[in-house]
């Protein structure tokens, strides 16, 4: 065979689509430049360089390689926020495995479900949680359980310290899984949204351009945007939108392990970008130090994960001179829409989440699938390279959540209800799945109702969200007692604490003789929301 013929039949090498490869390519050439500065805790003032991120994540990736795990193993992580936790996420990407972040408010029963469903090969928890967490993990078949503390302690770092700090990222294709994020449905059963390397990278690149991220000098790493990172890193907003944004831009982060409004205001003069949920903006407005002068150097304030009250939007503009950019996304899709960033692209309208991002298809349809006219309210469906691959081990549920056109085009049914303006701007008016978003966290009524209904003396319950000035929505429960039972709302709240995450626990419980129902016997939650609408002022 001639050399020409041999080369013609040789397999063509495909580029490595591992997300970490793209992130690392944006790191400044001067590796000693500051990537992250700690802003709180006992190590406040410490700095991590870009080389630290590269070498630290390499050590952790090599540790995972030593464990000889099956390809694309799930790595479940429930730890406090730290730079080392971010390095662990990067290490899982590098090693070609699948990252499974878990809200650090989850309790034993919740963790048991996630372990049983995802069957992770490795689980990482805080040192304090190790006694109960490891018991659940080992009983669920997890082979390796490590600890990682917020003070750079734990067995994970101890083991990784003996590993090499050079590692070649495992080759991944765009459709290979990078992460699984659990999000519950109206049935109360949690679903694992499978996000690929291609999903996450495509969305990060779109946001980098659309939000006009200003790159630092590629050699020195100086200048450009500086991000205040004050969000948790166990969900889309903090881990994918904020962290990916800074890493893909080579931008420095001012890192808060816990949100402190006064401390954040004090660092505004050093930053240019801030991302937060509405709750954070409410708390920042409570600080006298928040002034136009303090925010003079800021370029962009972004809000998401929950509806932003009009009062908060207006108060922020009046106090700082900045107009908050609102956007819309989901665990299954990362970001979908955004108000304009550049003034030349239009105004940021309060109460709206902007138009579909470049590359994202979005339509609003009636119940029968017909397209809604501008201004008509309907169901929001989306498609694009950012839309997830499906729900982990739930092929039937995945198929149910997608609408398929005659030409085979698949549209994800978001479960949100909204309307589109003539210019493409989207307003979210409700959620067909009764999802509650409190303080930026998703709360699913059916799950909470399940816990309440198991309590002695409870006949049935209904959980709804009502407007809350701080959290966006406050969780409340209406409970019907069994005949002869004497229930106390405070006792029900106490019984839930310690069993489920704190953000899921109702802020108030009402004991009623019955729940309002329609002619078909369905509980009319819209009436309950209206009755208690003014509860929190």
Q: Within a domain: residue 8? A: no
- Using an 8 Å Cβ cutoff, are 240 and 334 in contact? yes
Q: Within a domain: residue 254? A: no
Using the predicted structure, report yes or no on whether residue 168 has a pLDDT greater than 50: yes
> Are both 24 and 97 inside the same structural domain?
yes
> Are both 382 and 510 inside the same structural domain?
no
Query: φ, ψ for residue 7 (rounded to 5)?
Result: -70, -30
**Residue 80 to residue 76: CA distance in whole angstroms:** 13
What total of structural domains would you count in the chain?
3
User: Of 1-10, 178-187, 469-478, 485-494, which gets the smallest average pLDDT?
Assistant: 1-10
> Are both 419 and 446 inside the same structural domain?
no
Q: Single out the residue in 431, 461, 491 at which a domain terminates.
A: 431
pLDDT for the residue numbered 521 = 63
The proportion of the chain whose per-residue pLDDT surpasses 90, expressed as a percent, equals 84
Q: Within a domain: residue 336? A: no
- Which helix (DSSP H) or strand (DSSP E) does residue 208 occupy? helix 197-210
Q: Which residues contact 383 (CB under 8 A, 6 or more apart)?
A: 360, 361, 409, 410, 411, 412
pLDDT for the residue numbered 413 = 97
> Are both 400 and 465 inside the same structural domain?
no
Burial class (CB in 10 A: 0-12, 13-18, 19+), 86: buried
Q: Within a domain: residue 260? A: no
pLDDT for the residue numbered 186 = 38
> Are both 398 and 440 inside the same structural domain?
no
pLDDT tens figures, 449-500: 889 988 999 999 999 999 999 999 999 999 999 999 999 999 999 999 989 9
pLDDT band at 311; cut points 50, 70, 90: confident
> Are both 182 and 62 inside the same structural domain?
yes
Using the predicted structure, report yes or no on whether residue 292 has a pLDDT greater than 50: yes
pLDDT tens figures, 38-88: 999 999 999 999 999 999 999 999 999 999 999 999 999 999 999 999 999
> Are both 400 and 526 inside the same structural domain?
no
pLDDT for the residue numbered 12 = 64
Using the predicted structure, report yes or no on whether residue 430 has a pLDDT greater than 80: no
**Residue 351 to residue 353: CA distance in whole angstroms:** 7
Kind of pairing between the strands at 377-383 and 410-420: antiparallel
> Are both 128 and 144 inside the same structural domain?
yes
> Are both 389 and 496 inside the same structural domain?
no
pLDDT for the residue numbered 7 = 45
pLDDT band at 340; cut points 50, 70, 90: very high
pLDDT for the residue numbered 184 = 54
pLDDT band at 247; cut points 50, 70, 90: very high
Widest CA span in the chain: 91
Q: Compare 446 and 315 and report the one with higher pLDDT.
A: 315
The CATH number of whichever domain residue 450 belongs to comes to 3.30.300.30
Q: Single out the residue in 211, 244, 269 at which a domain terminates.
A: 211
- Using an 8 Å Cβ cutoff, are 364 and 376 in contact? yes
Cβ–Cβ contacts within 10 Å for residue 209, how many?
11
- Using an 8 Å Cβ cutoff, are 312 and 278 in contact? yes
Burial class (CB in 10 A: 0-12, 13-18, 19+), 400: exposed
Q: Compare 277 and 521 and report the one with higher pLDDT.
A: 277
Using the predicted structure, report yes or no on whether residue 177 has a pLDDT greater than 60: yes
Q: Is 19 left (phi over 0), alpha (psi -120 to 50) or beta?
A: alpha
pLDDT tens figures, 347-367: 999 989 999 999 999 999 998
- Using an 8 Å Cβ cutoff, are 83 and 476 in contact? no
**Residue 524 to residue 62: CA distance in whole angstroms:** 54
Cβ–Cβ contacts within 10 Å for residue 291, how many?
14
CA trace torsion 369, 373, 379, 383 (10° rounding): 80
Q: What is the mean pLDDT of residues 167-180?
A: 98
Q: Within a domain: residue 239? A: no
pLDDT band at 1; cut points 50, 70, 90: very low
pLDDT tens figures, 371-382: 999 999 899 999
The CATH number of whichever domain residue 407 belongs to comes to 2.30.38.10
Q: Domain containing 361: what range? A: 355-431
Query: Using alpha carbons only, what angle is made at residue 230 by residues 224 and 234, rounded to the nearest 5 degrees?
Result: 110
- Using an 8 Å Cβ cutoff, are 337 and 424 in contact? no
User: Across all residues in the chain, what is the average pLDDT?
Assistant: 93
pTM of the complete model: 0.87
pLDDT band at 11; cut points 50, 70, 90: low
Q: Single out the residue in 193, 211, 229 at which a domain terminates.
A: 211
- Using an 8 Å Cβ cutoff, are 279 and 306 in contact? yes
> Are both 51 and 138 inside the same structural domain?
yes
pLDDT tens figures, 411-429: 999 999 889 999 999 998 8
Q: Within a domain: residue 264? A: no
- Using an 8 Å Cβ cutoff, are 532 and 464 in contact? yes
The CATH number of whichever domain residue 174 belongs to comes to 3.40.50.980
Look-up: residue for tokens 């991120």?
53
pLDDT for the residue numbered 450 = 86
Cβ-count burial 454-493 (b if 16+ within 10 Å, e if not): eeeebeebbbbbbbbeebbbbbbbbbbeeeeeebebeebb
Q: Compare 1 and 203 and report the one with higher pLDDT.
A: 203
pLDDT for the residue numbered 140 = 97
Cβ–Cβ contacts within 10 Å for residue 266, how many?
14
> Are both 364 and 454 inside the same structural domain?
no
pLDDT band at 512; cut points 50, 70, 90: very high
Q: Within a domain: residue 281? A: no
Q: Which residues contact 232 (CB under 8 A, 6 or more apart)?
A: 81, 103, 104, 238
Q: Within a domain: residue 501? A: yes
> Are both 100 and 191 inside the same structural domain?
yes
- Using an 8 Å Cβ cutoff, are 107 and 131 in contact? no
């Amino acid at each position: 065979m001639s050399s020409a013929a041999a080369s013609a039949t040789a397999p063509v090498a495909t580029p490595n689509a591992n997300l970490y490869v793209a992130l690392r390519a944006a790191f400044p050439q001067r590796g000693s430049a500051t990537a992250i500065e700690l802003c709180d805790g006992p190590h406040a003032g410490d700095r991590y360089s870009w080389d630290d991120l590269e070498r630290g994540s390499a050590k952790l990736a090599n540790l995972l390689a030593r464990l000889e795990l099956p390809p694309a193993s799930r790595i479940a992580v429930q730890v406090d926020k730290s730079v080392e936790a971010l390095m662990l996420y990067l290490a899982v990407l590098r090693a070609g495995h699948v990252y499974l972040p878990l809200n650090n408010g989850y309790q034993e029963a919740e963790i048991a479900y996630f372990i049983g469903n995802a069957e992770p090969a490795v689980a990482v928890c805080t040192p304090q949680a190790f006694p109960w967490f490891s018991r659940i993990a080992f009983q669920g078949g997890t082979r390796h359980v490590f600890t990682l503390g917020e003070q750079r302690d734990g067995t994970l770092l101890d083991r990784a310290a003996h590993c090499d700090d050079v590692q070649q990222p495992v080759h991944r294709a765009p459709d290979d899984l990078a992460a699984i994020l659990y999000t519950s449905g109206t049935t109360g059963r949690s679903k694992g949204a499978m996000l690929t390397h291609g999903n996450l990278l495509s969305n990060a690149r779109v946001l980098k351009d659309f939000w006009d991220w200003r790159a630092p000098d590629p050699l020195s790493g100086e200048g450009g945007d500086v991000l205040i990172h004050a969000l948790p890193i166990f969900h889309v907003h903090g881990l994918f939108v904020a962290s990916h944004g800074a890493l893909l831009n080579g931008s420095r982060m001012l890192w808060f392990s816990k949100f402190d409004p006064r401390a954040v205001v004090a660092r505004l003069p050093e930053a240019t970008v801030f991302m937060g949920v509405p709750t954070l903006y409410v708390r920042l407005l409570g600080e006298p130090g928040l002034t136009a002068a303090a925010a003079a150097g800021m370029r962009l304030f972004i809000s998401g994960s929950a509806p932003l009250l009009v009062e908060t939007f207006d108060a922020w503009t009046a106090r700082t001179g900045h107009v908050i950019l609102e956007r819309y996304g989901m665990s299954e899709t990362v970001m979908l829409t955004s108000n304009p960033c550049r003034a030349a692209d239009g105004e940021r309208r309060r109460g709206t989440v902007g138009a579909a991002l470049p590359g994202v298809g979005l339509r609003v349809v009636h119940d029968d699938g017909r397209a809604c006219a501008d201004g008509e309210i309907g169901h929001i469906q989306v498609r694009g390279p950012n839309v997830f691959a499906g729900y982990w081990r739930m092929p039937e549920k995945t198929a149910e959540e997608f609408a398929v056109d005659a030409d085979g085009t698949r549209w994800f049914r978001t479960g949100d209800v909204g309307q589109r303006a003539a210019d493409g701007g989207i307003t979210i008016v409700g959620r067909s799945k009764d999802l509650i978003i409190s303080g930026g966290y998703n709360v699913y009524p059916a799950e909470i109702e399940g816990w309440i209904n198991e309590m002695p003396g409870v006949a049935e319950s209904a959980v709804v969200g009502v407007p809350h000035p701080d959290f966006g929505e406050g969780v409340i429960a209406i409970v019907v007692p069994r005949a002869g039972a004497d229930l106390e709302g405070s006792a029900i709240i106490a019984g839930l604490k310690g069993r489920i995450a704190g953000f899921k626990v109702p802020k108030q419980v009402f004991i009623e003789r019955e729940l309002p129902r329609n002619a078909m016997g369905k509980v009319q939650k819209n009436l309950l929301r209206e009755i208690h609408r003014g509860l929190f002022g």
